Each structure stands twice: as structure tokens, then as C-alpha cells.
Chain A
């Protein structure tokens, strides 16, 4: 125990300092050993955990017939890069669905940020009669699973002529209760004084919002943006119901279109498409890792 409490002892003598140094070195070795004692198994576990992705990549470079060879062939003899060119530029290219996904995701994020920040701020900082009632209604609504609304939304979009358009995916995603909730939580934790002072100065409400509170909400805003983007990107259920024209498919649907003429999944092409579909998100994640983690934990701990 005495080894670990450091700093407060008086300067040791030469002999003591030699012993001290030796003890420090021994501790460092012990720590490094313990680092690796844990590190190695964790790294092995991580590799195991990610094995499906390795398999995905391996299969994406094989001709379809080889995908189910027993025993498994990790490194294909003849890496079939044509799978990738076929998936990107062939007859059923995933590029259109890629673009559709991007379009939908970007629109949703922009719309969501715009409406949620405004509403969240209002719930937090702009008192008005009935505000609490509306907020409670919001809370209750947040529990509604989107699936329940699939049927009526389907009917409405079809009546409005929005069935089989990308708007059917974008519109519901632009106005969510959850986003408002998160922003409100954030703004609530901000002090009121600045708004009051600014109002006494004669500043308009929107200026108070945009110049004072909004800038400092950037962490939460980027959190929301990331969350919304990821949700939109990975959404499979909504496009499954609301889209039918293959040209409008978003990426999850587009991935399922790599079937041979009997309707069975073509493993090589499907995996190549899957790998390509993961890359953008993976890239975003690796680059913005800190922001990503922050986004996840912000929403959790607020």
C-alpha cells in the first residue's frame, strides 16, 4: 500500500531513492503485464466479435457458388473484384439506392434539427399557457411505436399521392417527439438569466435563441444529428412498406435486390453490396468517434 501513495513523502536519500526507483520500475513492469494480461484476451474477443464482418468481406470476393463451400475458405483463391464493380455499376447497381438513402437521411436530419431545436427551446425557455399540458401529451406520444402508425400513415400517404415517393420516408422523420425531448432536456439545463437579460435589452426572441442558446447547444445538436442520420440510414421497415418502385429504394431495400432469377440471395454480390453499405457509416464513425460516443452518452445520461 505504501508504494502507491506517492508524492507526499520527503525527498529520499540516495540509497532510498535507488530502492524507490527499482520499485517504480517493478511496478511499471507489473502494470504493463497486467495491461496485456487483460488486453490480449479482450483483443481476441474483439476479433471474434467482428468475425462476421471478416466473413462478409471474404464472401464478397467469391463467386456465388463458392460461398457455401465446406470447409470454409477464408481467403478466396481468385479474389473476384468484379463483384464490387457489378454491384456499383452493373445492371442492379446500389448507387441509386445509396443516393436515395443520402437524400432521405439529410432531409430528415435538417428538418429534425430545425423543428426539434425550436420546439425544445420553447418547452424549456418560453413559458406560455398550456405549455405543460402540451409537453405531457408529447411525453405520452413518445411511447407510441412507429409500427402502430404504419397502417394509417400508409393510407394517408396513398391518399395524398405520396405513396411510393421518398417523402413518405422523410416527412414523419422530420417531426419527431424524441428529438424535441432531447433538445428540451438540454435547454432546461441552461440558465434562464441570459434570456431574461437579453429581453430587457430589447432583443427579439429569435435572436436570443439563435445567438445565445443555440450555439452552446452544439454538442447536443450534433448528437441529435448523428442519431437521426444513423436511424434514417438503417431504416428498413418504412421503405419496405412505403416504396415499391425499385428506383426509389433506399439502401436497406437495395441490398435485398441482389437475387438471382429464382429469387434466392446471391451471396457474393449481396455481401459486396453489404460491405459497401457499411463503409460510409463506418467512416463517419471512425472520424467522428468522439462526437459519436458523446452523442450516444448524451442522450443516455440526460
Chain B
């Protein structure tokens, strides 16, 4: 059985000339026609956007046009009839962002584009991708607020500015009021970390009902922007807040006060949890304004309880909000229509608040009244399902101090390491000490490796 004997030579089968040719010819013919058909189909789809149109401003964003951007663009066109705008939507996931990055690198005609999430910003922050808007911003007094050094809302490197945040998303804590009142808990208007822990403990009750989905990002509250790295750029994970955050969460998961993380991972609810909130799986919920979009939709998410809001608890007198400035607008460094692009950016930043509200976003620079904002976020007839005053207090009083990370060294890798260890710790498969130590060690190694970039 080691080597197969060669099969006996087969005599050439007497084949009439036709079939052999037909088979080959058929293959060839089929191949050629398929190629022709395929070529037209395939190339037709591939060529879009490959050419430069000097007369149209190309804007790329991750939001569906009908949820707000389109009306903004329409108003822009009215104000600037000489600048036609073409809006392209990309899906804000790994693949979509890869497409944007390759398009930017490949010279596709893009003039203005939006970046969602700091990880993606890290890829597009350099001046070879994004145009330096520094001078233009400084020449526009209305935008001065974005350049606050303590609470930056733009990506600045010295005098160079390559991205401007357009939205603010203060995080808050939502309550299922029916369950909250059942538990006899009063709605707090301000509270400390300790009080917060006591509340969610009181809110967790019988089987299957948890006090909260997760804890707020406590280190963020205590430290603020760029909390993963020290001022010198080294790993900051040895800061006790991180260990405490991991450990407290693990303990509360074990106790049943927090939603079990294994369930969260298995059902992929790490990003959107409105289904669980509506179903009463947990009584309180740390989340951002985008979730309100679901809660004010009684058709898709019918529920009969009222929702109230409370601000972030303070940690050792530090009161950073865990929400961030986002939806960064950038101009393509290779764009040949820099003036137009800047006009569009200015318009979006200064006059786009009302349209963005429709998409559930609060703009940083806004001429919209508080009531209108609340109505935009909570929907009409909000009184029935929301404790509107609590929202007013939570979103506007303060105002909440949001953050924007500006030290982007190895951002994606550090995030991944952090999330990986957090997952195994909250799955109760790794001690918080070991998890944090691993994050710290890995982050330091990453910083050492990539710091010069």
C-alpha cells in the first residue's frame, strides 16, 4: 500500500472530433462570455468615486442621511447655492472604516469626512491625511471654545489642529421608575460613589433583577481625559482606581447586583442594552443619549414605566463625566476644495445643531433651547414616559465635564488589551489583581514600543 502502482495505460478512446472541441470550445466560450458579463457588472460597481469632481463637495459620514445630515445639507445648499454637496454614508464598523481609510489613502475624492471613535481618529490624525485647520479655527472666534486646553474638543498637536469634535454625549444613569419606587429608592440629584453603590445594591432584588447593567467607568470620573497614560506618557494603570473598578465590578457580578458579564458577551449586548432595560433585567442603566432614541420609540420598544435620569456620581470629589466629545469632522489633506470644505465645516459646527438633534445628537455649539433639545431627545409627549425635569437637570446642570483623549499612542492596542483583561476578570476567570497587572505591563510595553510615533 505504500506506493500505488501506475494504472495500466489506457488506450486512447476513439473520440469523434466534435465532443473534444466542443468541450474545450464550450469552456472557452463560456469563460469569455462570463468574463465579458462579469467585467461589466464588476467594473461598474467598482469605479464609483474614483474620479475627482471639482465642482462637488464630497462629504463622507457614518450617519444615515435621512436621520439628520440630509436636512443640514439642504440648508447648507440654500445658504451656499454655489457649492453642490454629495453625501456618502459608510457603515461605522471595522469594514466601513477600513474602506474610508483606504479611500483616503488611495486618493478617492473626499473633501470632508467624519470620524467616530478615538481609535479611528488615531488612524486619521496625522497631517498627511487630515488638513491642518489651526489657522482657520483661530480666525473664527465662535469656535474658540473648542480649544480649551483643560477640556479639549479638538485634536491638537501644538498649533496644528486636524479634527474638531461636533457632538457631546454626556453619560447619565437611567432608572426604571416603577422598579425604583418599589425598592423605595429616592431619585438622587447628586451623589457620591459610595451612595451610588448603596443605591444599586438596594435596587437589586429577586432572581433575575439586577441593580445595574455595569458600573460607570469610575477611573474616568476620577481622572478625566487621557486617563490611561500618565503625563509622561507611561502606563497609568497602576492607579488604584483601575484596580478598584475591576474588583468592585467583579464582586458585584458575583453578588448578582450587576448583570452577569458572561451573558452580556454571549448575547452580544456590550454595545446596546435597551432590550434588556425594557424587559426589566436591571433597574438602573449607565448609558449615553443615543439610547434615548430607542426609549422614546413606544412602537418598537413598548414599555409602561417611566424613565428618570441622574447625573454621574462623584469620585473623591472628582466629577468628570464619562461621556465624550465625538463625531469628529475632518478635512482631507489632499482635497482640492479646501475653502469649500471649511465653509461646510463651519456651517456644520455653528448652525447644524437642530438637524443633528433629529439624529439624537447634541451639538457642542448650539443655538437650540434646552426645551427643544429635551424634546428632540425624549420625543414628543415625553412627560408620559420620562421624568423630564430630571433629564434637564442631568444633561444641562453643571455642565457635565466631558473628555476627549488626545494622547493617541497605540490607542487601539491598549484598548484591546484593556478590554480583554476586563472581560476575563468580569467573567470571574481571572483575579482583578492579575488582570490589572497584565494591562499595566502590556500598556507599558506598547508605550515603550510606539511612543515616538
Chain A–chain B contact at Cβ < 8 A = yes
Minimal Cβ-Cβ distance residue in B for A169: B42
- Say whether B46 contacts A240, CB under 8 Å: no
State whether the Cβ of A215 lies closer than 8 Å to any Cβ in chain B: yes
- Say whether A189 contacts B7, CB under 8 Å: yes
- Say whether B50 contacts A263, CB under 8 Å: no
- Say whether B34 contacts A216, CB under 8 Å: no
State whether the Cβ of A196 lies closer than 8 Å to any Cβ in chain B: no
* Cα–Cα distance between A301 and B4 once the two chains are bound (Å): 9
B-facing residues in A147-204 (Cβ within 8 Å): 158-159, 161-167, 170, 189-191, 193-194
Encode contact with A along B83-107: 1 for CB under 8 Å, 0 otherwise. 0000000000001101100100110
Interchain nearest-CB distance for B266 vs A (Å): 10
Q: Which residues of A contact B46 (CB under 8 A)?
A: 161-165, 167
What is the size, in residues, of chain A's interface with B at 8 Å between Cβ atoms? 39
- Say whether B43 contacts A113, CB under 8 Å: no
What is the size, in residues, of chain B's interface with A at 8 Å between Cβ atoms? 42
- Say whether A216 contacts B13, CB under 8 Å: yes
State whether the Cβ of B12 lies closer than 8 Å to any Cβ in chain A: yes
Interchain nearest-CB distance for B4 vs A (Å): 7
State whether the Cβ of B79 lies closer than 8 Å to any Cβ in chain A: no
On whether A215 and B19 interact (CB within 8 A), knowing A161-B46, A166-B38, A167-B42, the answer reads yes
Q: Determine chain A's interface SS by DSSP, over half rule.
A: helix
- Say whether B23 contacts A245, CB under 8 Å: no
Choice from A107, A164, A215, A264 contacting B35 with Cβ under 8 Å: A107
State whether the Cβ of B31 lies closer than 8 Å to any Cβ in chain A: yes
* Cα–Cα distance between A194 and B19 once the two chains are bound (Å): 19
State whether the Cβ of B6 lies closer than 8 Å to any Cβ in chain A: yes
State whether the Cβ of A34 lies closer than 8 Å to any Cβ in chain B: no
Interchain nearest-CB distance for B426 vs A (Å): 19
- Say whether B42 contacts A166, CB under 8 Å: yes
Q: Which residues of B contact A227 (CB under 8 A)?
A: none
Stretch at the interface among B159-167, B270-278, B337-345: B270-278
Choice from A167, A189, A263 contacting B268 with Cβ under 8 Å: A263
* Cα–Cα distance between A253 and B23 once the two chains are bound (Å): 34
* Cα–Cα distance between A212 and B9 once the two chains are bound (Å): 13
- Say whether A106 contacts B42, CB under 8 Å: no
Interchain nearest-CB distance for B127 vs A (Å): 22
Q: Which residues of B contact A262 (CB under 8 A)?
A: 269, 271-272, 274-275
State whether the Cβ of B368 lies closer than 8 Å to any Cβ in chain A: no
Of the listed residues B10, B42, B269, B272, the one surrounded by the most CB atoms of chain A closer than 10 A to its CB is B42
Q: Which residues of A contact B106 (CB under 8 A)?
A: 158-159, 163
State whether the Cβ of A210 lies closer than 8 Å to any Cβ in chain B: yes
Q: Which residues of B contact A248 (CB under 8 A)?
A: 45
Q: Which residues of A contact B275 (CB under 8 A)?
A: 262
On whether A264 and B268 interact (CB within 8 A), knowing A161-B50, A189-B7, A244-B98, the answer reads yes
Interchain nearest-CB distance for B49 vs A (Å): 10
Interchain nearest-CB distance for B40 vs A (Å): 12
Minimal Cβ-Cβ distance residue in A for B39: A167
* Cα–Cα distance between A264 and B265 once the two chains are bound (Å): 11
* Cα–Cα distance between A191 and B21 once the two chains are bound (Å): 22
Q: Which residues of B contact A106 (CB under 8 A)?
A: 34
Q: Which residues of A contact B274 (CB under 8 A)?
A: 262
- Say whether A114 contacts B50, CB under 8 Å: no
State whether the Cβ of A22 lies closer than 8 Å to any Cβ in chain B: no
Choice from B9, B10, B30, B105 contacting A110 with Cβ under 8 Å: B30
* Cα–Cα distance between A265 and B12 once the two chains are bound (Å): 57
Q: Which residues of B contact A211 (CB under 8 A)?
A: 15, 17, 20-21
State whether the Cβ of B27 lies closer than 8 Å to any Cβ in chain A: yes
Interchain nearest-CB distance for B279 vs A (Å): 10
User: How many pairs, one residue from A and one from B, have CB atoms within 8 Å of each other in the complex?
Assistant: 91
- Say whether B41 contacts A110, CB under 8 Å: no
Minimal Cβ-Cβ distance residue in A for B15: A215
A-facing residues in B45-74 (Cβ within 8 Å): 45-47, 50
- Say whether A263 contacts B20, CB under 8 Å: no
Minimal Cβ-Cβ distance residue in B for A99: B41
Minimal Cβ-Cβ distance residue in B for A191: B9
* Cα–Cα distance between A114 and B24 once the two chains are bound (Å): 9
State whether the Cβ of A205 lies closer than 8 Å to any Cβ in chain B: no
B-facing residues in A104-118 (Cβ within 8 Å): 106-107, 110-111, 113-114
- Say whether B102 contacts A158, CB under 8 Å: yes
Q: Which residues of A contact B20 (CB under 8 A)?
A: 210-211, 214-215
Q: Which residues of B contact A111 (CB under 8 A)?
A: 31
- Say whether B45 contacts A247, CB under 8 Å: yes
State whether the Cβ of A126 lies closer than 8 Å to any Cβ in chain B: no
* Cα–Cα distance between A131 and B96 once the two chains are bound (Å): 45
* Cα–Cα distance between A114 and B10 once the two chains are bound (Å): 23
Of the listed residues A110, A214, A244, A261, the one surrounded by the most CB atoms of chain B closer than 10 A to its CB is A244
Interchain nearest-CB distance for A154 vs B (Å): 8
* Cα–Cα distance between A166 and B274 once the two chains are bound (Å): 37
* Cα–Cα distance between A67 and B174 once the two chains are bound (Å): 29
Interchain nearest-CB distance for B287 vs A (Å): 13
State whether the Cβ of A103 lies closer than 8 Å to any Cβ in chain B: yes
* Cα–Cα distance between A188 and B416 once the two chains are bound (Å): 52
A residues whose Cβ falls under 8 Å from a Cβ of B: 103, 106-107, 110-111, 113-114, 158-159, 161-167, 170, 189-191, 193-194, 210-212, 214-216, 240, 244-245, 247-248, 261-265, 301
B residues whose Cβ falls under 8 Å from a Cβ of A: 4, 6-7, 9-10, 12-13, 15, 17, 19-21, 23-24, 27-28, 30-31, 34-35, 38, 41-43, 45-47, 50, 95-96, 98-99, 102, 105-106, 267-269, 271-272, 274-275
12 additional A-B pairs beyond A167-B42, A215-B20, A264-B272, beta carbons within 8 Å, are A114-B27, A158-B102, A164-B99, A165-B45, A189-B6, A211-B17, A211-B20, A214-B23, A215-B15, A216-B10, A216-B12, A262-B272
Pull 30 A–B residue pairs with CB atoms less than 8 Å apart, ordered by A.
Answer: A103-B34, A103-B41, A107-B34, A107-B35, A113-B27, A114-B28, A158-B106, A161-B46, A161-B50, A163-B102, A164-B45, A164-B99, A165-B42, A165-B43, A165-B45, A166-B45, A167-B42, A189-B6, A189-B7, A193-B9, A210-B24, A215-B19, A215-B20, A215-B23, A240-B95, A244-B98, A262-B269, A262-B275, A263-B268, A264-B269
Nearest first, the 7 closest Cβ-Cβ pairs linking A and B are A262-B272, A165-B46, A191-B9, A244-B99, A110-B31, A211-B20, A264-B268
